[in-house]
Structure 1
Amino acid sequence: MTFVLDVVQVFISIMLVFLVLMHSGRDAGLSGFGMGSGGGAGPFGGGGGGSLVERNLNRWTILFALLFVINTIVLIKIS
């Protein structure tokens, strides 16, 4: 069981790093590649700006971060 959770942890870690690297700087966001600049609003605040791709990227990043924390806690409790 621990081996399976370790493998899952590695997969989650790689995906989380990939998702975080997909985010761009303050003004360059994913919407900056052809739909204008992000307008300076942060990913979790502001007037709901940003493209659908950016919002989904934020949701996937949060999901994988939560999975990482939960899996880490489970691994600590098991060992």
Structure 2
Amino acid sequence: MITGFSIALIVFSLLMVLLVLLHKGKGGGLSDLFGGGMSSSLGGSSVVEKNLDRMTIIVGVCWITTIVVLGLLLKNSY
């Protein structure tokens, strides 16, 4: 059971990294360094951004839940 949650944590972690990197840069931080300051027609739709936000929130909640459950399982196994 712990192995299943560990695998789920790895999958959710990779999905979180991917989803966060897909977001469009909003300010003048590191996103400008890597070309985020240039205007592009890719991903300009507000519907796409809203869906990406929703997916990021859902994966984030699953990620945090998996961490808490895995922590409780590991605490109780010792």
Could you say what the CA RMSD is over the residues aligned between the two structures, in angstroms? Answer: 2.3
Q: Which amino acid aligns with 1:23?
A: H
Q: Rg larger in 1 or in 2?
A: 2
Residue 76 of structure 1 and its aligned partner are, at CA, apart by 0.5
Q: Could you tell me how far apart the structure 2 residues matched to 1:75 and 1:19 are?
A: 23
Structure with the higher helix share, 1 or 2: 2
TM norm structure 2: 0.72
Q: Which residue of 2 aligns with 1:17?
A: 17
- Segments of structure 1 that go 5 or more residues without pairing to the other structure are 38-49
After TM superposition, the runs of 4+ consecutive aligned structure 1 residues lying more than 3 A away are: none
Residue 24 of structure 1 and its aligned partner are, at CA, apart by 1.7
Q: Structure 1 vs Structure 2: percent identity of aligned residues?
A: 29
Q: Trace 1:1-79 onto structure 2 (pairs within 5 A).
A: 1-26=1-26, 33-34=40-41, 51-79=46-74
- Segments of structure 2 that go 5 or more residues without pairing to the other structure are 28-35
